Amino acid sequence: MLKKLLMMSLAALALAACNDDADEGIQYASSNPEIVNGIYSGRNMHFYGTAKVTDSEGNVFTDPEAWFEFAGGGETLVIYMHQTRFAEKMPQLDMRIFRIPYTGGEGASLSFSSESLIPQVRLPNQVGGGYSYQDMPAYTLTGVEGSVNDIVCRMAFTCSVPKLGSYRMEYEGLLLVKK
């Protein structure tokens, strides 16, 4: 009897653990209404997933809470990488890729690529306070490739930072439900 009670308690605990995402308010979409026939509507899409970064020495850093946001419209995307970092000791930065052209696919899909892009980093304004995005050529991204297929976003690029090395970032995330 005690053994059955213990097993039932463990089962209840396991079910509660499976609902941790719901407790934190994270809910994933079951479809993507923002892309219709390969055309992005312009309403922001938020993706939550994992970024895996491999440095030039083969060391791997994984961020299991990577948050990417897409904005834009019918021809270009703005991709925000919130609190992103390429190494464990790197400070978190808010970066964006500004106005990258995309190609529509079938249904709720699109893809994008570029040989080289200069990202922008969100920095405090020197005068008047607040923040603005500023070009960051030291963080130039190469081999940029990405896609959104229904609720799945994938993106990859290489970032070579002078004196710090080269970092290959691979991201996969799921579309969050709009609240």
pLDDT tens-place string over residues 161-172: 888 889 999 999
Q: Which of these, 134, 178, 179, lies nearest to 31 by C-alpha position?
A: 178
Element (H, E) at 92: none
Band of the pLDDT at 24, cuts 50, 70, 90? low
Domain boundaries, the chain: 27-175
CA quadruple 106, 112, 93, 86: dihedral, nearest 10 = 100
Q: Residue 17: its pLDDT value, please?
A: 39
pLDDT tens-place string over residues 66-116: 999 999 888 999 999 999 887 777 788 899 999 999 999 999 999 999 999
Mean pLDDT of all residues belonging to the chain: 85
Q: Which of these, 103, 65, 99, lies nearest to 80 by C-alpha position?
A: 99
Given a cut of 80, is residue 3 above it in pLDDT? no
Question: What number of helices (H) and strands (E) belong to the chain?
Answer: 2, 13
Main-chain dihedrals φ then ψ at residue 14, nearest 5 degrees: -65, -40
Side-chain-side CA neighbours of residue 93 (13 Å): 20
27-175: which CATH number, 3.30.379, 2.40.50, 2.40.160, 3.40.50? 2.40.160
**Does residue 12 contact residue 4 with C-beta atoms inside 8 Å?**
no
Other CB atoms within 10 A of residue 10 CB = 10
